[in-house]
Amino acid sequence: MKKFKILKPGSNPEVSKATDIQVGVPLPLGTCVRGAGVNFAFFSQHASRVQLELFGRPEDFNPSRVIDLDPDCNRTNDVWHVWVKGIRPGQLYAYRVQGPYEPKAGHRFNFNKLLLDPYATAITRLPVWDFDPALGYNPSVPDGDSVPSTVNDAGTMPKCVITQDSFDWQQDVLPRHPWSKTIIYETHVRGATIHPSSGVKNPGTYRGLIEKIPYFKELGVTAVELMPIQEFNESQVTSILGKSLRNYWGYDPVVFFAPKASYSSLGGLGQQKQEFREMVRAFHKAGIEVILDVVFNHTAETDLFGATLSFRGIDNSIFYILEDNKSIYKNYTGTGNTINANHPVVQDHILTALRYWTQEMHVDGFRFDLASVLARDTNGNLLHNAPVLDRIAKDLILKDMKIIAEPWDAAGAYQVGSFSDRRWAEWNDRYRDDVRRFWRGDDWSLGSFASRICGSEDIFAKSGKGPQNSINFITCHDGFTLNDLVSYRYKHNELNRQNNNDGANENISENYGIEGMTADLSIEFVRKCQIKNFLLTLLVSRGVPMLLGGDEFRRTQAGNNNAYCQDNETSWYDWNCLKQHKEIFNFTRGIIAFRLAHPILSKEQFYTQAEIQWFALQGQAPNWSNPKEKQFACLIRENDKHAILLMFNASTEAVDFILPAVALGTCWYLAVDTSREAPQDLFTAGNELFLGNPRSYRLNPRSSVILLASK
């Protein structure tokens, strides 16, 4: 490891005493262009000294200028501040902070560590950013009695970038789709276009995603939910798993305000902010919303042996929840540390970040990773009305934003159906599991499946929420893809180099004859039918459907259900699959169009008895308590002249459904039959197949059918 000189307090002869420096102001925190210069404002309650360093290039070890902030002049209570003349966007900077190094008291100040501004709106790129624990604390010393590192890491740390605030939004208008018309497509900025088959000019970037907008429009989705784009270190897992593996998902934020530099085709000196805005503007012109998957529950600094990057060196005892022995971090996230989200300073930091992404970057909403963590107090107890969650729900700036919770955490909190305020939508994993069980043919699955397609009233009504609060999904980034759900009975995570011990063991999946890919046409037929069954179920269910990117053309991860470290062809979208599985794409596009053409399916209320009626095979009411029952139908009345009949058969036998009585003069039309080969599997609106007045309809094994009754 390269050794650098030690910086001792008061020993740097380059500290500036120039007259182009003024006291500055304490707010807003971060950097702000004021007049002919820039104001720097930096929170640290327990610091005794703060030093601002300016750099000329990202790789520089030595700063071009060092400014020591006088605690008597450049400090207002807990905020350190200074105004520097002549500073403009593009300037690189970072901080050093001196204070007590007392781990058992929660303090881990280290003046040798270069620190990122937690309010930085961009940080520079590094070809390889090594999170070597030796740059932080000595892991050979137990229980936090370690000594601070004496290594100055300025040459191996990225620098903060002052970014340009002005941008031509070209009269950008946010689409503001109501929940009832929202169809979410979860995707990864890099993974969606980095594969050579993507056909874009700027693969793996924000601009690459812009090039795919016509595709999203054709598919019919109304929102893209982007996996984390808050700056993270893709090299973070390399030292653990080996150089061929990287932090692909990005659920390890370094700075909450900064868009990922490596996703920019323009460069990493502030251009990432411009390119991200270009992407949002382009999506809005196409009528598509942009939702960010945000991580405010932990940071990349991990546990006591992790790297010191920002919060830990600024005021560790404020920003993190600590054990009674404050050298140890409480870990409700499974990643080593937990943000102290309900401390007033940290609350403000999170709210400011959300407002920034809303006002300055024009995003339309947020999905909060492990959101239950944000409901914990300083002792780790779950709060009934967590202040930060309440503030997010009621904030004036965030009023019209879509806010979605992943309503659980890694320490046992599970709040599906009752997460915080009624404004919060929630990922509904019970929808995922119950729909999977039904289509796998599990016993006792009929009643739960029926509840899920009706909006999960049994889950959400008790807290005053409606079906619009349920984000319905069959698959997401975490787990099998839809293709793998019907192709693998077991996970296959060997490439993750953890002896296949990572990832969920139970996936409620089935392979239908053989594990993985096969040329057996009979197995492929069943798999294709099941994929269509899942897609149909998702798009006819009340609630908000979320589709995992690539499921519409059978993207596979070869059975890997935890591909967080697979920045390679395991995770990348192979667009050749779109040509190979065009039938599935067309079906997905068609069933999305069907949902939008029949708004009764997506109303933001639960079904009334007048709207829906249930049937078993012979026209009688279903026996919900029969564990072996695998079929049912429901008639949804749109109005006096039109009705929708949904029929489901999860058994391995064909069955005949007696069609329910409808108004005199009504005829039946076939809209969808998942057991049919394309193009007879789905008919577009107005082109449904006329059936006349049959007494019954045969459902093939493992199939679903939609009939329309119309006068």
356 closest CA partner among 158, 77, 80, 163: 163
Q: Are 340 and 320 in contact (CB under 8 A)?
A: yes
CA–CA separation, 104 and 452 (whole Å): 49
Question: Could you give phi then psi for residue 80, rounded to 5 degrees?
Answer: -100, 140
Residues 6+ away with beta carbon under 8 Å from 38: 31, 32, 83, 84, 87, 88, 91, 162
Cα 77 → chain centroid: 36
Contact status, residue 447 vs residue 464, Cβ threshold 8 Å: no
Q: What is the DSSP letter of 522?
A: H
Pairing mode, strands 79-85 and 37-43: antiparallel
The answer to whether 132 is a known catalytic residue is no
Whether the CA torsion 11, 17, 23, 28 is positive or negative: it is negative
Q: Please report, to the nearest 10 degrees, the dihedral formed by the alpha carbons of residues 435, 437, 438, 444 taken in order.
A: -120
Those residues whose C-beta lies under 8 Å from the C-beta of residue 129, and which sit 6 or more positions away, are 156, 158, 233, 235, 236
State the CB neighbour count (10 A cutoff) for residue 535: 24
Confirm if 74 and 23 have CB atoms less than 8 A apart.
yes
Q: Cα separation of 508 and 487, whole Å?
A: 12
**If residue 348 lies in a helix (H) or strand (E), which one and from where to where?**
helix 344-359
Check 117, 369, 429, 583 and give the catalytic one. Answer: 369
Does residue 243 sit in helix, strand or coil?
A: coil
Helix (H, G, I), strand (E, B) or coil at 659: coil
- What CA–CA distance (Å, rounded) separates 578 from 580? 5
**Beta-bridge partner residues of 38:** 33, 84
CA distance 29 to 348: 10
Catalytic annotation present for 681:
no
Could you give the CA distance from residue 576 to residue 199 in angstroms, rounded to a whole number? 10
Share in percent of the chain as helix, strand, coil (round to 5): 25, 20, 55
Residue 655 bridge partners (DSSP): 699
Q: Which two tokens stand for residue 243?
A: 């150089």
Residue type, 408: W
Radius of gyration of the chain (CA): 28
Amino acid symbol at 208? G
- List C-alpha distances in Å: 650 to 224, 439, 503, 644: 31, 5, 27, 20
The string of DSSP codes covering 601-621 is GG-SSPPPTTTEEEE-TTSSP
Give the Cα separation of 598 and 610 in Å (integer): 17
DSSP per-residue letters across 461-518: GGGT--GGGEEEES--SSS--HHHHTT-SS---GGGSSTT-SS-S------TTSSS--
Tokens at residue 93, please? 């900077």
In the structure encoding, which two tokens stand for residue 259, read together? 């868009």
Q: Kindly report whether the peptide bond that precedes residue 679 is cis, defined as omega within 30 degrees of 0.
A: yes
Query: What gap in Å lies between CA 47 and CA 113, rounded to an integer?
Result: 14
Residue 263, judged by CB atoms within 10 A of its CB (0-12, 13-18, 19+), counts as buried
Q: What is the DSSP letter of 133?
A: G
Cα 279 to chain centroid, rounded: 17
Which one from 117, 231, 315, 406 is the annotated catalytic residue? 406
Q: How far apart are CA 216 and CA 590, in angstroms?
A: 13
Catalytic center residues: 369, 406
